[in-house]
Amino acid sequence: MPKKNKNLENLSQTHGKVEEKEYKTLDQIWGDTGSSRYSTSNEKEYLNYLNELNKSDLQGHANKIGLVPIDNRETLTKRLLAEFKKFTSLYKIPKQKNNTINLNQATKNILAEGK
């Protein structure tokens, strides 16, 4: 029986994903818009909410989000805001680039010769 030579560098692997929409989390697949965890996706609204909380409520909110509550209010607010930005960035749809190119008539004539 002849020995088969298998070179791993020449093999390819497929993942089977449909790449029409780019989902980053399971929540996005189920239709979550990202406002469920913080009840808003607006950074200014969230910052106003944090500023209205007293220290005890702020620590409770941090615990609910999954952060270790610390005694320094300013540092805790910064951490909560950073966690909010990280979470909401998962739900932002990347902007598509405008790939239209304006060509002059001479260039269009040259390209038309290949038809």
Q: Angle CA(81)–CA(62)–CA(28) in degrees, nearest 5?
A: 65
pTM for the whole thing? 0.54
Q: What is the pLDDT along the chain (115 residues), one digit of tens a residue?
A: 555 556 666 666 666 655 556 656 666 666 665 566 777 878 899 999 999 999 999 999 999 988 998 999 999 999 999 999 988 887 776 666 777 778 889 988 888 887 7
pLDDT of amino acid 94:
66
Domain ranges of the chain: 40-94
